[in-house]
Amino acid sequence: MVIAFATRDIDIEIAFNVRHLGGYSTRNGKESSHELIRSASLHRLTHTGVGNLREIGVSTVVDFRSSAEREREATPDLRYAGIDVVHAPVFEEDASPVGLSEEFPGFAKVYEHFLEEGARAYRTLFETVARREGAVLFHCAAGKDRTGVAAALLLQLAGVGNADIIEDYTRSAELLRPWRSGWEPKMAERGVSEERAEQLMASNAEDMAATLAFIGMRWGDAEGYLESIGLSRADISAVRAR
C-alpha cells in the first residue's frame, strides 16, 4: 500500500504530534516509508478522527503507555474501524520524567533507561511492524519520549542519517504546543513545578544526539540493539524492507 501525504505532519481529529516517518533519504539511496506513524495519545479521538486513521491505512496501533495511563485516558474502541490495538508498556511503574522524585537527570539518561528496561515493548513494536500488513501507528502520552526512542530506532535501522533522526525528534516541542494548555494544569495538580514542566516538554537536539551515541557505544547501532533484545534476523530484515 502506498500512502500519499502532502507533508510529514498528519491532521487527525483530535490527536497531537502526529506524523509519519516517510521521505527521509537512506544510505542506500531510497526513502523511508510513510506507513510508520508516530503520535501522542489517541484518547481524545473523535469518531471523525477514527475515520481519519482508517483513511490513511492504519491497521494496528501500538500503545507504549502503562496500564494506569491507559485506564486514566482510555483510547476509544477502534475495532469497529478494523484497527487492532497492541499494548506494549515501556514501563508499568511510574518511571516517567514526571514521576522522578530526584533532580531531573535530563532526557538522555531517561532514554537510556527506556532502552534498557523497555526492551520488551520495543521488541513488540518491531515484531508488529515486521508481521502485520497496513500502516502501524505507535504512541505514548506526548508522543515525544518513549515514542521518540522508537522512531529513532526505526529510522536508524532504515539507514536514515543521524541529522535527520535528530531533526525528527526535535519537531515534537513545536507540535505539542496546542496540547500544553490542557497538560500543564494537570501537571500542577500533581505537584510538578513550572520549571520541571518546561523541562518535560523539551525535545532538544543534544538529548537525541546523546541517545544515538549511547546506542552506538553500547550496541553498535539500532540493529545491534534489536538483536540484543531478541528480535529475529527475519523480523529485522522485514522491518528494514518496510
Q: Report phi then psi at 117, rounded to 5.
A: -95, -20
| Domains of the chain: residue spans and CATH | 19-241 (3.90.190.10)
CA 121 – CA 170 distance, rounded (Å): 23
Cβ-contact 211, 112 below 8 angstroms: yes
pLDDT 10s digits, 162-213 = 999 999 999 999 999 887 777 777 777 777 777 777 888 899 999 999 999 9
pLDDT 10s digits, 68-98 = 999 999 999 999 999 999 999 999 976 555 5
Question: Can you state the percent helix, strand and coil of the chain, rounding each to 5?
Answer: 50, 10, 40
pTM for the model = 0.93
pLDDT value of position 98: 58
Is residue 215 over pLDDT 80?
Answer: yes
Cβ-contact 93, 190 below 8 angstroms: no
226: cell is: 534489536
Is residue 1 over pLDDT 50?
Answer: no
Is residue 2 over pLDDT 80?
Answer: no
Helices (H), 102-176: 107-117, 119-131, 146-158, 162-175
Q: How far is CA 69 from CA 7, 75, 141, 200, 232, in A?
A: 30, 10, 8, 17, 30
pLDDT 10s digits, 131-140 = 999 999 999 9
Number of CB atoms found within 10 A of residue 158's CB:
24
pLDDT 10s digits, 7-48 = 899 999 999 999 999 999 999 999 999 999 999 999 999 999
Q: What is the DSSP letter of 135?
A: E
pLDDT 10s digits, 96-150 = 555 554 677 889 999 999 999 999 999 999 999 999 999 999 999 999 999 999 9
